[in-house]
Structure 1
Amino acid sequence: MSLQGCRRFQSSAVNYSSMLLEADSERLYVGARGAVFALNASDISSSALTIEWEASPEQKQQCLSKGKDNKTECFNHIRFLQRFNSTHLYMCGTHAFRPLCAYINEKNFVMSSQPEEGRDKCPYSPTTGYTGLIIDQQIYTAAQYEFRSFPDIRRNSPSPTLKTEDAPTRWLNEADFVGSALVKESEGSSSGDDDKIYFFFTERTEEQTATYSHNRVARVARVCKGDRGGHLTLQKRWTSFLKARLMCSLPEYNFHFNMLRSVFVVPGHTPQATLFFGIFGLEWKSVKASAVCRFSLSEVQEAFQGPYMENQDSGSKWKEYTGKIPDPRPGTCITDTLRARGINISTSLPDDVLDFVRRHPLMSQQVQPLDKRPLLFRRTTDYTHMAVHMIQGLDGQTYHVLYMGTDEGWLHKAVQVDGHLHIIEELQVFEEPQPVDSLLISDKQMSVYIGSPSGVVQLPLSNCRRYTTCYDCIFARDPHCAWNGAQCVEMMAHADRSTLIQDIQHGSRGCENTQDDVVQRSRSVRVGDDVLLQCELSSNLATPLWTQDDRELQGYGLNSGFRTGTDGLLIIEARQDQSGQYTCYAVENDVRVAMVTYNVTIRVDLPLPPPPAPLLPTSDLLNPRNMEAMYLSLITILGGLCVVLTVVLIYVGFCLRVGHRGKYSLRAAAAAYPNSKRNRNRKHHRNSAHMELKTISNGNGICNGISKQYNGDIHDGGFLQIVPGEGHTSHNRESPPPAPPLPPTPHLPSPEADFPNGLSATLPSVLRRMNGNSYVLLRQSDSDNSSPLCYSFAEELNRILEKRKHTQLLPRPDESSV
């Protein structure tokens, strides 16, 4: 099933990782590798403006001489793309490991000046964790800028420039930044507080406690916008830098998600109501799992007002500081209280306060989630990026709808209800697995934009038309959708909502008085036959329930005469007393919805079907193993004939040559057939030098028994060698150690099940994941229904290679920077 309302943008460039949405101008700016694009936000597939900005061949050659990868690193990856003022944008690129920045004239969409040095604003590598903001024409960035440098948070321009401290206490330890945000805490502040910039990252842990032990932990840090550094102590350094740990864990299991992958900031009606949503993962790369936690700004502020951590011996053991804290409190912004004492700027702070800040950047109190536990935990999914949309439901409540991209190119839509996330739908955005690199939401266009290595995709925030019944619409619990009595409609498109039905809190109420047509079918079968009654459920969260003449069928065991699967009910060796009306219900949220009704008649007087055509007598000689031996024997015989013919031809040629010249040169014969030297390093049967019969796969297919050899191991580049007189011994290579076992999943009946009377009843091949936390699973193709009888060798090899493409950067095939 294709994605409805989907629009795509692709070009010759790759790695579309930077996006900037301008709602007023209805433009979407996209930074890729070697190019920047200006797209129409209402339809990104229409014409686009382009600025080509690639590194020169000389610069690429210098990058290559540094030992960098000339297929991914030695290009100009656009890492920073922000609005600078009302007329210009500002962008920075890695520029083949020599970062440069430039201004863009928005009106003409051209570079308005020569590129300037960017080493203090942009990282060298396209994969280094990085975040940046432009606030009042001041550039705030955070990254590990150079290969051998320490991670740093900087204000680059205008003067004064500030950065984090490295000695005697290093403020950041191998930090990997994922996001930053400005919170205007000065608005409505009774104390004259300053705005603050928050940075989110993962770093190597410093503290050692009895409750957890991890190499890396998630952090939030903050600095004051008005910080100007110290006068003597902390000169050109932040005087307001503080950091604290973000906790996202399952308390009952003492299980911590310590890797922060993405953060989205949701502004509230006041600065204090600001929320931070974060995607967390595990430190072990071999185990896929994700958790989503949300934090309040008030919890973060409370942590920064708490006790400090101390490291007295410059070692790795940090403990809570219990000594005297200088006044004014270290790390705070300039407020009205400090101004009344004559401290109007950070350079006026006392040296003892600044020295304390230098040695105590870490807070002891941890920032706990607002819900005390994750909103969502997924065992087999790695989320990469997220965006949050706020919408008011029919019940008057404001709901947060999360759009989360995965490392395999899927988009999950979920709604937050009562401290947990209910996944509404899962959309396969890309046919080829690739990570989602960026996500943006437009309220004006009601669209979500998804950046990836191969292109940009635009999808509507909702597609209510896919829900065809009242219960489908209600069960989805999509705040964008409501039932109007006849169809599921976009709620925002209706000014009069008095007749609409919606139940986000429970997903079960409102459809009691609606009547949906139930599919009616009839089946007449003979006694002793197996009868399959199919029932397709539209919801992944629904479970099937069958009744016979309004009596619920229980057991479904072999002795009951029934067997049920996720897609149907099988009547085994039908009896006359099993005639009746069978109804399939979809049970979800404690609500039963009839899906299909069968009137089954089981009779003894049905005409017998015509006898099947007589089958050829079977023989053990026709089994695959013997057939393969026969083929090999036939090939061997033909090979022998070829050898005989070759000898005859050589003999005839020798006789002719003798008759003509009187002698024959073996060296000349060898020179006349130079290709015979190809096999000099392989074994041959004695008395048959330089002769070998081999069968080479030319893409026509690997079928049946041969495909099994391919799945196990194929040596010598895929050649099946047949050497007269010698057997070829295959040695199986040692398989790699298995990945950690995933949690057990509920047992589902196999698509093909053998039944007592020898009938192999084939159930529908598409089995829904009953316990998957999802509502609708869309497919872009029906490849699941195909039977893999034959695969070409090239196709099989391509499948293996495609599975290995999980890097964040996508190099073009057969292309290098030099």
Structure 2
Amino acid sequence: MWGRLWPLLLGVLAATAVPGPSLRRPSLELDATPRMTISYEELSGTRYFQAQAQNYSTLLLEEASARLLVGARGALFSLSAQDIGDGAHKEIHWEASPEMQSKCHQKGKNNLTECFNHVRFLQRLNATHLYACGTHAFQPLCAAIDAEAFTLPSSFEEGKEKCPYDPARGFTGLVIDGGLYTATRYEFRSIPDIRRSRHPHALRTEEAPVHWLNDAEFVFSVLVRESEASVVGDDDKVYYFFTERAAAEEGSSSFSPSRSSHRVARVARVCKGDLGGKKILQKKWTSFLKARLICHIPQYEKLRGVCSLDAERAAHTRFYAAFSLTTQWKTLEASAICRFDLAEVQAVFSGPYMEYQDGARRWGRYEGGVPEPRPGSCITDPLRSRGFNSSQDLPSLVLDFVKLHPLMARPVVPTRGRPLLLKRNVRYTHLTAIPVSTPAGLTYDLLFLGTADGWIHKAVVLGPGVHIIEETQVFREPQSVDNLVISPRQHSLYVGTPSGVIQLPLSTCFRYQSCYDCILARDPYCSWNPSNHSCVATTTTTANRTSLIQDIERGNRGCEGSSRTGPLPTLKTRSVLQGDNVLLPCDQPSNLARALWLLNGSRSLSDGQDGYRVGVDGLLVTDTQPEHSGSYGCFAEENGLRTLLASYSLTVRPATPAPAPQAPATKEARLAPDVKLLYVLAIAALGGLCLILAFSLLYVACLRRGGRGHRRKYSLGRAGRAGGSAVQLQTVSGQCPGEEDEGDEGEGAGGLEGSCLQIIPGEGAPAPPPPPPPPPPAELTNGLVALPSRLRRMNGSSYVLLRQSGDGVPTGPCSFAEELSRILEKRKHTQLVEQLDESAV
């Protein structure tokens, strides 16, 4: 039902939200399916690092030294970026003392998760030292670490101005020209803040009369060097991405939750050269501005992760953001991926402002005049020529305006007005991206998306959407992906998780065995090499790049030559009796492919017609007839291409053999009886043995009980065993009659009722075990195992349960399973002896 309501509900939510981007495609078209699924058992080229620590969530890659630095709970690690699992790593133990942990616990914090030193910040400080900060049991500390020796210093710095107290609090930080730019909720019960420390001019956000940040959870920050190639001498800027509680004007939709719980995504910026005000906004940002980010459903999206590309070149800078979409009814959950260009963000920050209207107690668009220089702008060459050499030279009128108007009126909408991807039942937790150049000279953005249950989605951005190349399960047990870092030099993706760090190759081109597979994948890293007929990584191959075959845009051109499509599958033969069922396996490696079966090269087989059932794992032919004989081909149809995956030759033999000639039968003919006759003979033999054993047991028990004055109470087992509970054995196909023998009145549960036999361990000598059942028949040529019985193990006793229909032909396992389930349900409360050594049929 939800599958049909999904597009309608998303459309209603989008229509009732605040004005934003309008979708030009149905929502279902945005829900891309990963082409390949790689399970944990199929991983290749993976390396792991795991130590005694936990929460390996802080990663810093240094390409020049080929080191991956990791911050975890109570430890820091320096790993080889080439192979993180080579064992030649360096480690720093940085635990909170027992006294600090005790004080943390006394504050009401969890001493199993929170009262530790969680390393939340790890950046390069200068040419010789790293800078790290940890929560330190809710008393943050920071340290300058010698990068070469990788040891802690003798003294530490106070961290309450630089690092969050709470290890679960959103946090982001950068070291820029020796200054520390961080954003989080710092003190124990403080409001969130964007601060600059370790700088001659320490700055922070304003709190009164308007809070610039409202219960913000920070996700990401990046320095964009807008001063590079700037014709006006613009300043570099730091952009912050976060989620915060909505302003009053943003929670007015009738479909939205209450204003106290409604949260929106934001982007904010500050100028790197900001020095604060001289009299107004002293030690406060004079360039702080924020705007709303809208991806798909404004009222129900929460920012989860952001990454940036080409931040060194402002004109080409772009951001990719992951949002989680959850309605207030918690009935639908999805994720959306949107792209935002820096030019659009700059245009919004150059647009109209919002202001808080005291009378209406809400935010509204500011319609008054804007003072000069423009509030919130950085110092440029034109401003310097007018005497404004720094933010401390700005007029009081401008600074007063900045205090009251931090919010922009227009939202930042995604590129082309719609998301790139909308994925149902998936929660993305982190993402990273890298531009990849192809042999044709084009460049594509490649995204890696981590999920909350431990999967990595690899996707390439193609115009208005994305193509998910593959989904990879990187954990045997589900756990969250906390961080992702790409190393182009090592051709590796590093995954930070609660239990360790994983290193994955950026591409696994060897998985594609044919030219069709290689180009259908549309992986910018993979190309088909026609000289050696293999799919190769474009970053590692020595072949002429111009000779490589690749089609990222369409994914179906270049393999027209038959010599380049890969080897043909081996022809397999199947021979079955008329009336039997036969399964022809055919595994579709691509989730986007459609299975197509052709009979004798021309007739297309449809599901449900003429006894054919087309499934994801093959073709099932039921009640085979002579006309089913022929050549079967299994094809994968994908993106306009047809690839042969499996080929079969099926022969249906008559069920009744033709009259044999009078010549003496050969040994082979005598050894080939009808399979059904074998079943009937085997069951008849077992039934006869059961009857003989039953009569023997009854006879022995009657003789024994006759001497004691008891009637119709039978027991088996070791002498002297007492306290055993009754185990009831009855035929599978019949129900026990409720009538009791007139002579058995008063014997209660110990009597024999109808055809039911109770075996009570504890009396008599053990009966001889019955002969073992015949071994099950080997797999037949039709791919199905026909076994008319099931073996169930119970406390050391093996019960072989058989059923025959009225005509003596074994019934199918489905009806047997249903009847067995009913009997076991009746006996599930029966208490069995721990060492029951009798076997009964």
Note the residue ranges of structure 1 that are not aligned, 5 or more in a row. Answer: 643-698, 705-756, 762-818
Residue in 1 aligned with 2:164?
A: 123
Q: In 1, distance between residues paired with 2:427 and 2:144? A: 36
Q: Tell me the CA shift for residue 538 of structure 1.
A: 1.4
Q: In 2, distance between residues paired with 1:183 and 1:624? A: 78
Say yes or no: does 1:522 pair with 2:573.
yes
Residue in 2 aligned with 1:504?
A: 552
Contact 1:206/1:316 (CA < 8 Å) preserved in 2?
no
User: Residue 171 of structure 1 aligns to a residue in which SS?
Assistant: coil
> What are the within-5 Å matches in structure 2 for residues 803-818 of structure 1?
none
Contact 1:216/1:283 (CA < 8 Å) preserved in 2?
no
Residue in 2 aligned with 1:11?
A: 51
Say yes or no: does 1:583 pair with 2:633.
yes
The code of the aligned residue for 2:351 comes to G
Residue in 2 aligned with 1:281?
A: 324
Say yes or no: does 1:94 pair with 2:94.
no
Contact 2:180/2:198 (CA < 8 Å) preserved in 1?
yes
With over 3 angstroms needed to count, the CA separation of the structure-2 counterparts of 1:248 and 1:552, relative to structure 1, is farther
Q: In 1, distance between residues paired with 2:303 and 2:607? A: 46
Q: In 2, distance between residues paired with 1:316 and 1:597? A: 73
User: Residue 318 of structure 1 aligns to a residue in which SS?
Assistant: strand
> Residue by residue, what CA displacement relative to the aligned partner does 1:254-307 show, whole Å, maximum 9, x if unpaired?
675520011101016731210001000124567431111010000000000000
> Residue by residue, what CA displacement relative to the aligned partner does 1:59-107 show, whole Å, maximum 9, x if unpaired?
1110011000000000000000000000000000000000000010011
With over 3 angstroms needed to count, the CA separation of the structure-2 counterparts of 1:223 and 1:569, relative to structure 1, is same
Pairing partner for 1:271 from 305, 314, 328: 314
With over 3 angstroms needed to count, the CA separation of the structure-2 counterparts of 1:263 and 1:563, relative to structure 1, is same
Q: Tell me the CA shift for residue 550 of structure 1.
A: 2.1
With over 3 angstroms needed to count, the CA separation of the structure-2 counterparts of 1:624 and 1:13, relative to structure 1, is farther
What is the CA RMSD across the aligned residues, in angstroms?
A: 2.9
With over 3 angstroms needed to count, the CA separation of the structure-2 counterparts of 1:625 and 1:447, relative to structure 1, is farther
**Range with bigger deviation, 105-114 or 80-89:** 105-114
Q: What TM-score results when the alignment is normalised by the length of structure 2?
A: 0.73
Q: In 2, distance between residues paired with 1:524 and 1:759? A: 21
Say yes or no: does 1:25 pair with 2:65.
yes
Residue in 2 aligned with 1:549?
A: 600
Residue in 1 aligned with 2:678?
A: 611
Q: In 2, distance between residues paired with 1:126 and 1:622? A: 63
Q: In 1, distance between residues paired with 2:275 and 2:360? A: 30
How many residues matched?
A: 644
Q: In 1, distance between residues paired with 2:411 and 2:256? A: 15
Contact 1:519/1:595 (CA < 8 Å) preserved in 2?
no
Q: Tell me the CA shift for residue 621 of structure 1.
A: 2.6
Q: In 1, distance between residues paired with 2:416 and 2:600? A: 47
Q: In 1, distance between residues paired with 2:361 and 2:43? A: 52
Q: In 2, distance between residues paired with 1:61 and 1:155? A: 31
> What are the within-5 Å matches in structure 2 for residues 567-646 of structure 1?
567-604=617-654, 608-609=674-675, 610-612=677-679, 613-614=682-683, 621-623=730-732
The code of the aligned residue for 1:242 comes to L
Pairing partner for 1:373 from 415, 418, 422: 418
Q: In 2, distance between residues paired with 1:231 and 1:420? A: 48
User: Residue 562 of structure 2 aligns to a residue in which SS?
Assistant: coil
User: Residue 32 of structure 1 aligns to a residue in which SS?
Assistant: strand
Q: In 2, distance between residues paired with 1:204 and 1:625? A: 67
Contact 1:150/1:174 (CA < 8 Å) preserved in 2?
yes
Pairing partner for 2:474 from 404, 425, 429: 429
The code of the aligned residue for 2:413 comes to Q
Residue in 2 aligned with 1:261?
A: 304
Q: Tell me the CA shift for residue 419 of structure 1.
A: 1.7
With over 3 angstroms needed to count, the CA separation of the structure-2 counterparts of 1:327 and 1:550, relative to structure 1, is same
Contact 1:383/1:407 (CA < 8 Å) preserved in 2?
yes
Say yes or no: does 1:197 pair with 2:238.
yes
Pairing partner for 1:441 from 486, 504, 514: 486
Q: Tell me the CA shift for residue 551 of structure 1.
A: 2.6
With over 3 angstroms needed to count, the CA separation of the structure-2 counterparts of 1:182 and 1:268, relative to structure 1, is closer
With over 3 angstroms needed to count, the CA separation of the structure-2 counterparts of 1:74 and 1:382, relative to structure 1, is same
Q: In 2, distance between residues paired with 1:307 and 1:395? A: 43
**Range with bigger deviation, 478-487 or 119-128:** 478-487
**Range with bigger deviation, 54-63 or 371-380:** 371-380
User: Residue 414 of structure 1 aligns to a residue in which SS?
Assistant: strand
Q: In 2, distance between residues paired with 1:640 and 1:518? A: 59
The code of the aligned residue for 1:408 comes to D
With over 3 angstroms needed to count, the CA separation of the structure-2 counterparts of 1:113 and 1:197, relative to structure 1, is farther
The code of the aligned residue for 1:593 comes to T
> What are the within-5 Å matches in structure 2 for residues 283-682 of structure 1?
283-284=326-327, 287-313=332-358, 317-485=362-530, 486-495=533-542, 496-515=544-563, 516-557=567-608, 560-604=610-654, 608-609=674-675, 610-612=677-679, 613-614=682-683, 621-623=730-732
Q: In 2, distance between residues paired with 1:639 and 1:124? A: 66
Report sequence identity in percent. 50
With over 3 angstroms needed to count, the CA separation of the structure-2 counterparts of 1:276 and 1:207, relative to structure 1, is farther
Contact 1:138/1:158 (CA < 8 Å) preserved in 2?
yes
Q: Tell me the CA shift for residue 154 of structure 1.
A: 0.3
> What are the within-5 Å matches in structure 2 for residues 209-224 of structure 1?
213=256, 215-224=262-271
Residue in 1 aligned with 2:200?
A: 159
Contact 1:169/1:314 (CA < 8 Å) preserved in 2?
no
**Range with bigger deviation, 597-606 or 155-164:** 597-606
Q: Tell me the CA shift for residue 316 of structure 1.
A: 5.2
User: Residue 244 of structure 1 aligns to a residue in which SS?
Assistant: strand
Structure with the bigger RCO (C-alpha within 8 Å, sep 6+) is: 1
User: Residue 405 of structure 1 aligns to a residue in which SS?
Assistant: strand
With over 3 angstroms needed to count, the CA separation of the structure-2 counterparts of 1:264 and 1:163, relative to structure 1, is same
**Range with bigger deviation, 72-81 or 158-167:** 158-167
Contact 1:248/1:256 (CA < 8 Å) preserved in 2?
no
Contact 1:177/1:202 (CA < 8 Å) preserved in 2?
yes
Contact 1:79/1:92 (CA < 8 Å) preserved in 2?
yes
Q: Tell me the CA shift for residue 507 of structure 1.
A: 1.3
> Residue by residue, what CA displacement relative to the aligned partner does 1:519-572 show, whole Å, maximum 9, x if unpaired?
2111222222212111111111111111111233344225x2212111111222
Contact 1:103/1:113 (CA < 8 Å) preserved in 2?
no
> What are the within-5 Å matches in structure 2 for residues 712-727 of structure 1?
none
Residue in 2 aligned with 1:754?
A: none
Q: In 2, distance between residues paired with 1:222 and 1:362? A: 11
With over 3 angstroms needed to count, the CA separation of the structure-2 counterparts of 1:511 and 1:75, relative to structure 1, is same
Contact 2:224/2:311 (CA < 8 Å) preserved in 1?
no
Q: In 2, distance between residues paired with 1:545 and 1:492? A: 35
**Range with bigger deviation, 412-421 or 616-625:** 616-625
User: Residue 403 of structure 2 aligns to a residue in which SS?
Assistant: helix
> Residue by residue, what CA displacement relative to the aligned partner does 1:300-350 show, whole Å, maximum 9, x if unpaired?
000000000111218752111001111111100011111111110111111
The code of the aligned residue for 1:262 comes to G
Q: In 2, distance between residues paired with 1:638 and 1:116? A: 78
Contact 2:225/2:312 (CA < 8 Å) preserved in 1?
no
Residue in 2 aligned with 1:230?
A: 277
Q: What TM-score results when the alignment is normalised by the length of structure 1?
A: 0.75
With over 3 angstroms needed to count, the CA separation of the structure-2 counterparts of 1:44 and 1:315, relative to structure 1, is farther
The code of the aligned residue for 1:569 comes to L
The code of the aligned residue for 1:155 comes to R
The code of the aligned residue for 1:78 comes to V
Residue in 1 aligned with 2:708?
A: none
The code of the aligned residue for 1:11 comes to A
- The higher radius of gyration belongs to 2
Q: In 2, distance between residues paired with 1:546 and 1:760? A: 29
